[in-house]
Structure 1
Amino acid sequence: MDLPLVLVVDDEVRSLESLRRTLDQDFEVLTTTDINAAAHLLEDNDVQVILCDQRMPEKSGVEFLKEVKERWPDVVRMIISGYTDAHDIIDGINDAGIFQYITKPWHPDNLILALKAACRLSALQRENELLAVELRMAPDAAGNVIKKRREGLRKSCSFDDGIIRAPGSPMDEVCKSLSDIAPYSLSVILHGSSGTGKELAARALHYGSPRWERPFVVENCGALPDELLESELFGHRKGAFTGAVADHTGLFERADGGTVFLDEIGETSAAFQVKLLRVLQEGEIRPLGSTRTRKVDVRVVAATNKDLEEEVKAKRFRADLFYRLAGMIVKLPDLKDRPSDLPLLIDSILTNAMEAMDKPVKGVSDEAMEYLIAYSWPGNVRELQNEVHRMLVRGKPDRWLDVDTLSTHFLQAGTNGARQTPMSESDADFESTLSGSLKDRVEALEAKVISDALIEHRWNKSKVARQLGLSRVGLRSKLDRYGLENVHPISRRAPN
């Protein structure tokens, strides 16, 4: 199987070599320190993704990628930079069509995942081009293909197949509420912590409604300032503001007949809330810079991690907009409240990740699963996805993903009850042991240092011994003395 071709452009040789070493196992990598040479490489090679440093001597990365967009629009464009200037990011998104902005210092696992996503986007773009050709050549056959794909998408987003859960899951009540209201055009507020799956629930609501054949569009209201947010949702006319070089159709107009999902609605300003309220009341939009209004028929699903009723009481959110949006309020539970769902979610995420990374493994071992189930998951499903992806990157093909593939903080957290050992005690618990004679206190401190080092190096005793300046024999002696030899062993067993 051919590897995706990635072009990396960076004027710093050491940085370029570091990127090459990180990427060359998963991609075919071309590198250059010169923008002009990069243009020649794009002419001569079928590059799928370009990763360009922002600070280049000839011109900025955004300026170069703007040229790439014009000459090679099918190449997915990414920027890497140690400077997170908001103006650069906005220019990159608007002018150069940047897919992702990678900040330095970058983490190898995250960089690989971002590039794999970019390569997947490139592949999808090419599939769509072929489908467009097929549509022109054989419209009836192509129409059937599109219909089947849409029906498949609808099934994958259904309450039964799209929202993964075990029997008796807290998500059962959520799905029942959404299913009951799906046929009607009432607005809905989805309330839940970040990463609980509010967008997935909104998609299930859309595809379970009579609007399912019309567009479903998404906008994160907390990510843009008012003017840009208004432009994205309602559109603008050429010349409406600096940078408006052409007419722009807003998401409300694009989604006519369908559903608009407004994420992080609680982050909007009072001024924008007034404009959104008018649109919802009148059922019409007026693009920025235009004197004419346009009728739209959309269903609005809003999401927030804030308690909007409390925000209304505190006068941070308009009461009239809240009641316009709150046709129904559905609360999504945190992942820590769904322990029975975790094995099914992990299996689904891992299956998709194996396909995306082309890296098959046998699954997650019982030992590692215990740690994952015991964890509190403050980042919810999004954090779970990231951890499963990291485990797959660290794991070996055709093997079980075991405890040694887990991130360190999972090992430090331990599991409830059975695994509460000196290695997972809190600092307060540790301090309570520092009593008695000087010898007792020194030994308690020594045991803590050794146990922390074991966790950090995932029980690789050679690395622990080197870090602590001990011989293997000396380390083994101390492990025996403090009862650490058989604490938290990294099991190699597979699930039963």
Structure 2
Amino acid sequence: MTPTSLRRLPAVLVVDDELRSQEALRRTLEEDFEVFCASGADEGMEILDREQSTAAIRVVLCDQRMPGTTGVAFLKEVRSRWPDIVRIILSGYTDAEDIIAGVNEAGIWQYLLKPWQPEQLLLTLQRAAEVWRLQQENQRLSLDLRTAEPALRRQVEKKQDKARRQFGIDAFVRHAGSPLDGVCELIARVAPYDLSVMVTGESGTGKEMVARAIHYESARADKAFVTENCGALPDTLLESELFGYKRGAFTGAVEDRVGLFQQADGGTLFLDEIGETSPAFQVKLLRVLQEGEFRPLGSNRAVTVDVRVIAATNRDLEADVRSGRFREDLYYRLATIAVHVPPLRERRMDLPLLAETLLASSAQALGKTVSGFATETLAALATYDWPGNVRELQNEILRMVALGEGPLLLPALLSSRVLGRPAVAEATHWSDDLGGNLKTRMEALERVVLEAAMRRHRGNKSRAAQELGLSRVGLRAKLQRHGMTDE
């Protein structure tokens, strides 16, 4: 195991009694996290006792139903001993009492349902690690403020200025003439005004980044920026998260809970995936936006808040309004200003700058020295369509930096999906532009396919032959016929 002093990735503990489930979770997370696995509560506690001397583990992902104990009971013990660890339950059951108990007794941050989607699970764990980091930063800043010395106050102000620079408009990496220029101009114009904003765009385009920029370019920059993923929670849990509740409001409510609206008072509340909410919840949210007040569950007193709401979605909400899936009045209340974030494929001129920026941050995060990309690598990155947008590009570069051994990132380090699509585009180009009869064109296309397969499999003839449906001897014969040497 890597010595504690050399760890570069945040660590997560997976507790699940099914080994196959453990392995699936490990494969999904291991590129972004150092993953520890335990088959039960006792083994999980042993790992935590060993690793938490250096605060190594930031997130615990635990199955709810295990032999001997429940995930909630285990995480309740984790909370009592290591309250800073972010706790997540993974379950194939949607029992309401389990959910309520998890939130109240164990302080569960997220309740994920099986079957889980790899991309959504990874995103949730990444956000959980960021929550842990922000908790530590908040505790440190709070300690600084309690000392109340002018010098320390100036340090806090400098950090706030740094946050404005890090999350404001200047944080957007773009080339001259980029479609993002219009987005940044719109952010600068609307940020000073307390208007609701709807941010739209495909998954991974940076909608939360736009919301943060609006917050840090506004007069609310020194107040809280609070986020909630509306698509990750059922209605009852989302309502308690946003509005809070009083002790005794329902079974398991053993203490008062302050909702996110109150936590964001004076600042900004970012509601991601707003299009995934139900019509019933939309009615409750609309009233809060109209009246500026709400009642926590179990309370008879209204709470007044001053919150700017920024919502985001990757859905076509106008179509959902027409179909009746999303309330029209709520849509127009949220979309006073609409900001659309273009996908990466529509701003290819930004890709070289963006790739270099992500390379620098990835190399720093992994503690490696990398000088840049090979020309062929950048060409492949520029040809790929990036359906996962900036998030997919970031993960691809992290992977390349982790696997790379030299100063340059070579094309062989690219994943098969990135290498595959340029091959299709290249083949289409050959088919359209190459002269000659059908036989000549087919031979040219065959060479392109062979080259792409050999690149994807790093020159491994057995695997390339298997993909192409050839014997190894047959593949070798084709390579020789096209003058493609072993090298």
> Which position in structure 1 is the counterpart of 2:6?
3
Query: Is 1:408–2:416 an aligned residue pair?
Result: yes
> Which position in structure 2 is the counterpart of 1:154?
164
CA distance in 2, matches of 1:34, 1:326: 47
TM-superposed deviation, 1:35: 4.2
Query: Is 1:460–2:457 an aligned residue pair?
Result: no
Indicate if the aligned counterparts of 1:196 and 1:382 stay in contact, CA closer than 8 A: yes
Given residue 177 of structure 2, which amino acid in structure 1 is its aligned partner?
A: G
> Which position in structure 2 is the counterpart of 1:493?
none
What do the CA deviations read for 1:416-468 (whole angstroms, capped 9, x no partner)? 96x3379x989xxxxxx8x9xxxx99x99998996675254133347547988
TM-superposed deviation, 1:360: 2.6
Of 210, 218, 238, the match for 1:201: 210
Distance change (3 Å), C-alpha of 1:367 and 1:263: same
CA distance in 2, matches of 1:117, 1:252: 19
Given residue 292 of structure 1, which amino acid in structure 2 is its aligned partner?
A: R
Distance change (3 Å), C-alpha of 1:350 and 1:96: farther
Secondary structure in 1 aligned to 2:357? helix
TM-superposed deviation, 1:142: 2.9
What do the CA deviations read for 1:111-147 (whole angstroms, capped 9, x no partner)? 9999898777666655554554444445433322221
Query: Is 1:67–2:77 an aligned residue pair?
Result: yes
Indicate if the aligned counterparts of 1:377 and 1:383 stay in contact, CA closer than 8 A: yes
Distance change (3 Å), C-alpha of 1:348 and 1:465: same
Distance change (3 Å), C-alpha of 1:25 and 1:210: closer
> Which position in structure 1 is the counterpart of 2:224?
215
Q: What are the equivalent positions in structure 2 for 1:161-172 lying under 5 Å apart?
A: 161-172=170-181
Query: Is 1:277–2:286 an aligned residue pair?
Result: yes
Of 177, 181, 206, the match for 2:190: 181
CA distance in 1, matches of 2:452, 2:60: 38
Secondary structure in 1 aligned to 2:155? helix
Indicate if the aligned counterparts of 2:431 and 2:445 stay in contact, CA closer than 8 A: no
TM-superposed deviation, 1:372: 0.9
Indicate if the aligned counterparts of 2:93 and 2:113 stay in contact, CA closer than 8 A: no
TM-superposed deviation, 1:340: 0.6
CA distance in 1, matches of 2:174, 2:341: 13
Q: What are the equivalent positions in structure 2 for 1:262-273 lying under 5 Å apart?
A: 262-273=271-282
Secondary structure in 2 aligned to 1:302? strand
CA distance in 2, matches of 1:370, 1:337: 16
CA distance in 2, matches of 1:199, 1:26: 20
Higher mean C-alpha displacement, 399-408 vs 3-12: 3-12
Higher mean C-alpha displacement, 61-70 vs 209-218: 61-70
Given residue 484 of structure 2, which amino acid in structure 1 is its aligned partner?
A: E
Query: Is 1:420–2:419 an aligned residue pair?
Result: no
Given residue 303 of structure 2, which amino acid in structure 1 is its aligned partner?
A: R
TM-superposed deviation, 1:11: 6.4
Higher mean C-alpha displacement, 381-390 vs 176-185: 381-390
Given residue 315 of structure 2, which amino acid in structure 1 is its aligned partner?
A: K
Secondary structure in 2 aligned to 1:261? strand
CA distance in 2, matches of 1:117, 1:277: 27
TM-superposed deviation, 1:97: 4.8
Distance change (3 Å), C-alpha of 1:201 and 1:90: farther
What do the CA deviations read for 1:340-380 (whole angstroms, capped 9, x no partner)? 11111112222222222222322222111111111111221
Indicate if the aligned counterparts of 1:78 and 1:102 stay in contact, CA closer than 8 A: no
Distance change (3 Å), C-alpha of 1:470 and 1:91: farther
Secondary structure in 1 aligned to 2:227? strand
> Which position in structure 1 is the counterpart of 2:357?
348
Higher mean C-alpha displacement, 37-46 vs 145-154: 37-46
Indicate if the aligned counterparts of 1:270 and 1:317 stay in contact, CA closer than 8 A: yes
TM-superposed deviation, 1:23: 11
Of 288, 310, 315, the match for 1:301: 310
CA distance in 2, matches of 1:185, 1:286: 23
CA distance in 2, matches of 1:162, 1:331: 17
Q: Which has the higher helix share?
A: 2
**Unpaired segments ≥5 residues, structure 2:** 433-437
**Unpaired segments ≥5 residues, structure 1:** 427-432, 491-496
> Which position in structure 1 is the counterpart of 2:435?
none
Secondary structure in 2 aligned to 1:222? helix
Secondary structure in 1 aligned to 2:6? coil
Indicate if the aligned counterparts of 1:3 and 1:27 stay in contact, CA closer than 8 A: no
Q: What are the equivalent positions in structure 2 for 1:74-153 lying under 5 Å apart?
A: 74-75=84-85, 84-86=92-94, 95-97=105-107, 125-126=135-136, 128-137=138-147, 139-153=149-163
Indicate if the aligned counterparts of 1:361 and 1:401 stay in contact, CA closer than 8 A: yes
What do the CA deviations read for 1:143-197 (whole angstroms, capped 9, x no partner)? 22221111101111121x2111111000111111121111111111112122221
Distance change (3 Å), C-alpha of 1:23 and 1:359: farther
Secondary structure in 2 aligned to 1:262? strand
Of 190, 193, 200, the match for 2:199: 190
CA distance in 2, matches of 1:222, 1:117: 14
Higher mean C-alpha displacement, 166-175 vs 85-94: 85-94
Higher mean C-alpha displacement, 331-340 vs 59-68: 59-68
CA distance in 2, matches of 1:277, 1:120: 30
Query: Is 1:478–2:478 an aligned residue pair?
Result: yes
Query: Is 1:233–2:242 an aligned residue pair?
Result: yes
> Which position in structure 2 is the counterpart of 1:48?
56
TM-superposed deviation, 1:14: 10
Higher mean C-alpha displacement, 27-36 vs 224-233: 27-36
Secondary structure in 1 aligned to 2:232? coil
CA distance in 2, matches of 1:117, 1:76: 10
Indicate if the aligned counterparts of 2:274 and 2:311 stay in contact, CA closer than 8 A: yes
If the length of structure 2 is used for normalisation, what is the TM-score? 0.79
Distance change (3 Å), C-alpha of 1:92 and 1:402: farther
Indicate if the aligned counterparts of 2:60 and 2:85 stay in contact, CA closer than 8 A: no
CA distance in 1, matches of 2:385, 2:301: 52
Q: Tell me the number of residue pairs that the alignment of Structure 1 and Structure 2 aligns.
A: 469
TM-superposed deviation, 1:273: 1.5
What do the CA deviations read for 1:181-233 (whole angstroms, capped 9, x no partner)? 11111111112122221111111111111111111111122222211111111
CA distance in 2, matches of 1:325, 1:148: 33
Given residue 372 of structure 1, which amino acid in structure 2 is its aligned partner?
A: L
Query: Is 1:385–2:377 an aligned residue pair?
Result: no
Indicate if the aligned counterparts of 2:144 and 2:153 stay in contact, CA closer than 8 A: no
Given residue 251 of structure 2, which amino acid in structure 1 is its aligned partner?
A: T
TM-superposed deviation, 1:293: 0.5
Given residue 64 of structure 1, which amino acid in structure 2 is its aligned partner?
A: F
